[in-house]
Amino acid sequence: MIVPMVLRSEAIGAITFVSEEPGRYGEDDLEMAQRLAQKASLAIENARLFRRERQARAAIERAADRMARLQALTSDLATALTSEAVAQVVIDHSSRAVGATTAGIWALDTDHRYARLLRAWSYTPEEIERFAVIDLQGPAPVAVAMRRRTPIFLESVNADRDRDPETADRASQELARVETSSSYACLPLFVGDEAIGALAFALRGDHVLDGDERAFLTVAAGHCAQSLYARASTRPSAARAPRWRSCTSWSMRSAGPARSSRCTSWR
C-alpha cells in the first residue's frame, strides 16, 4: 500500500507499507495511513519553515556582522594618518574577518614595473625579504591580479591547478606559507582605472572563502585603495611620490611588533 504525502495540493512524497500477507490492508488501514501521511506532510513543512527561518536569521546576523566590521574598518581608517597605518588597519580587520594565516599589502613602485611590500602580517624575516619586490610582468598572483584588474580567489593550489596552473603553481611560491591545500585571495587596489597595489591573504587549508567573505575583502580593498591614495595626495607636492623606508611585520595578537624583521614601506 502506497499513500501520497500531499501539502497544499502538491505531492511532496509517499509512504509505502509492505506486508507478506495478501489482502492484509483494508479500509481502516488505508484511513490510518492517510492520516499518518497528512501528519508527516505537516511535520516536513514545519521543518522546512524552521530551516528557512534559521537561514534567514543567519543571513541577517552575517549582514549585521559584516556591516559592523565595515563600520569599524572605516572608523579606524579615518584616524590612520599614514599609508603604513592604513595598511595595518586594513590587514588587521580583513585578516580577522576571514581567518587569514598570512596577509600582505603591496604598493605600486614609481616606475610602475614593480610592486613593493608595504605591510606584512605573520611573515618571517626571510619571507619579508623574499616578497619585498614583485615584478609586475611575472606570474606571481599579486602581479596577475594587478594586470588582470580583477580579484583572484583560489580554493586551493591543488584544486585550481588544472583551471589556472600558472597562478596556482606560483601561489605556493609567492605567498608566504601557502601549502598545496591552502586557499588564498589576491585583490588589486584600484583608484579609478589605475591599479596602485594589491592585497593578498593565505588561509588555512579547510577554509574556502564564501560569497560574504569575498564581498567583504572586495569592499575592504576599495577602502584601502582610496585611503592610500588620499594619504599620498595630502602630502606636499614635492613629497607625493612614494618613498621607501623600513618597517616591521606585526602580529594582531600582541600589542607590539611580532618580530624585529624589516621590510620596505610606502608612506
pLDDT in tens, 10-53: 888 999 988 888 888 888 888 999 999 999 999 998 998 999 99
Whether residue 54 is found in the same domain as residue 85:
no
Q: What are phi and psi of 135, to 5 degrees?
A: -70, 120
In the prediction, which pLDDT does 164 show?
Answer: 55
- Measured between alpha carbons, how far is 87 from 266 in angstroms, rounded to an integer? 10
pLDDT at 163 over 80: no
| Within-domain flag for 182 | yes
Average of per-residue pLDDT values in the chain: 79
In the prediction, which pLDDT does 166 show?
Answer: 54
Whether residue 102 is found in the same domain as residue 221:
yes
Whether residue 131 is found in the same domain as residue 32:
no
pLDDT category at 69 given cuts 50, 70, 90 is confident
Q: Where are the alpha helices (DSSP H) in 99-164?
A: 125-130, 141-148, 157-160
| Within-domain flag for 162 | yes
How far is CA 65 from its chain centroid?
Answer: 14
Which one has a higher pLDDT value, 236 or 192? Answer: 192
Whether residue 8 is found in the same domain as residue 87:
no
pLDDT at 260 over 60: no
Whether residue 20 is found in the same domain as residue 121:
no
Q: And the C-alpha cell for 121?
A: 602580517
Whether residue 22 is found in the same domain as residue 139:
no
- Measured between alpha carbons, how far is 140 from 154 in angstroms, rounded to an integer? 13
In the prediction, which pLDDT does 104 show?
Answer: 94
Q: And the C-alpha cell for 252?
A: 594582531
- Measured between alpha carbons, how far is 102 from 222 in angstroms, rounded to an integer? 20
Q: What are the distances in angstroms from CA 91 to CA 18, 45, 238? A: 63, 45, 29
- Measured between alpha carbons, how far is 125 from 190 in angstroms, rounded to an integer? 28
User: Which residues make Cβ contacts (< 8 Å) with residue 54, sequence separation at least 6?
Assistant: none
How do residues 205-241 score in pLDDT, each as one tens digit? 777 888 888 999 999 999 999 999 988 776 554 444 4
Whether residue 46 is found in the same domain as residue 85:
no
Nearest CA to 115 out of 89, 144, 95 is that of: 144
Whether residue 137 is found in the same domain as residue 94:
yes
Cβ atoms 220, 73 nearer than 8 A: yes
Q: Show the domain range for 117.
A: 81-266
In the prediction, which pLDDT does 107 show?
Answer: 94
- Measured between alpha carbons, how far is 39 from 47 in angstroms, rounded to an integer? 12
In the prediction, which pLDDT does 156 show?
Answer: 62
How do residues 104-145 score in pLDDT, each as one tens digit? 999 999 889 999 999 999 888 988 998 899 999 988 889 999
pLDDT at 173 over 70: no
| Within-domain flag for 73 | no
Average pLDDT over residues 81-107: 91
| Within-domain flag for 65 | no
Whether residue 50 is found in the same domain as residue 86:
no
pLDDT at 246 over 70: no
| Within-domain flag for 67 | no
In the prediction, which pLDDT does 12 show?
Answer: 87
Whether residue 104 is found in the same domain as residue 200:
yes
| Within-domain flag for 256 | yes
| Within-domain flag for 110 | yes
Cβ count within 10 A of residue 125: 13
Number of domains in the chain: 2
In the prediction, which pLDDT does 192 show?
Answer: 87
In the prediction, which pLDDT does 110 show?
Answer: 87
| Within-domain flag for 64 | no
Whether residue 29 is found in the same domain as residue 143:
no
